[in-house]
Amino acid sequence: MSRASDRAYSTIREMIVSGELAPGDSLREEALAEICDVSRTPVREALRRLEADMLIHKTESQRSYVADWSLDDIGDAFELRAMLEGHAARRAAKRIDDATLQALRECNARIGKAVIASPPDVDGFLELNREFHALILETAESRRLTGLLTALIEQPVVWRTAHHYGKDELRRSHQEHDELLAAFARGDGAWAESIMAGHIRRAFHAYADAHRGLTAIHSAGGKKQA
């Protein structure tokens, strides 16, 4: 891939993840090329990569739009995450060393500070949470798992909706990380796998609750405008 294509990919992807480009938004090559400061060819290459990531979709007329996943789609993604990240946690528990365990503890301590901030630092929580899970995946030492999980972990709809989580959900996530650390400290792969799978399943239900709330808000807004 060219450097221009990589830059276009990173820029457009960040716009989707941040919510600047919302689900259903049309993606025009000319406008994106201007935003990314590249020609249209790198933008086309970037859009192909984003389609492979399932972040955008193309119509039969080849027009590109930001993907709008249904709750069933998201549920399927979380189910896969629970299985795959659970397996990663089991592998990590058997391979983790003292330095990595300490790095995870320090990361989770920073997550705790983001959670108890007033108001909670959700952006900080999300960034540190990604770092925490990425370190576990790295410790699992499986390139195949890394390839399969990367797209699932980075789904932007989860990031956007997390801004509507309450402090209780954030605190629970932090506490579950502490339980994972206890399992890692004992090298107990089965325990780590169980905690991680439950952690991901609980995250899905928190997401689903927030998704339903957002849907209700948008529906009410639509009725008012009508």
pLDDT in tens, 138-190: 999 999 999 888 767 666 555 655 666 778 889 999 999 999 999 999 999 99
pTM of this prediction?
0.75
State the pLDDT at residue 111: 97
Residue where a domain terminates, one of 20, 46, 66: 66
Rounded to a whole number of angstroms, the CA Rg of the chain reads 19
Instruction: Answer left, alpha or beta for residue 138, where phi above 0 means left and psi between -120 and 50 means alpha.
Output: alpha
Q: Which two tokens stand for residue 201?
A: 């399943």
Cross-sheet strand order for the sheet of 56-58: 26-27, 64-66, 56-58
The amino acid at 102: Q
> Which domain, by its residues, includes 167?
71-223
Neighbours of 100 (CB within 10 A): 16
Q: Each residue of 20-73: pLDDT tens digit?
A: 888 889 999 999 999 999 999 999 999 999 988 778 988 888 899 998 777 787
Mean of pLDDT over the chain = 87
Domain co-membership, 61 together with 133? no
Confidence of residue 224 (pLDDT cuts 50, 70, 90): very low
Domain co-membership, 161 together with 81? yes
Domain co-membership, 96 together with 112? yes
Domain co-membership, 110 together with 136? yes
Q: How far is CA 81 from the centre of its chain?
A: 10
Q: Phi and psi at residue 137, in whole multiples of 5°? A: -65, -40
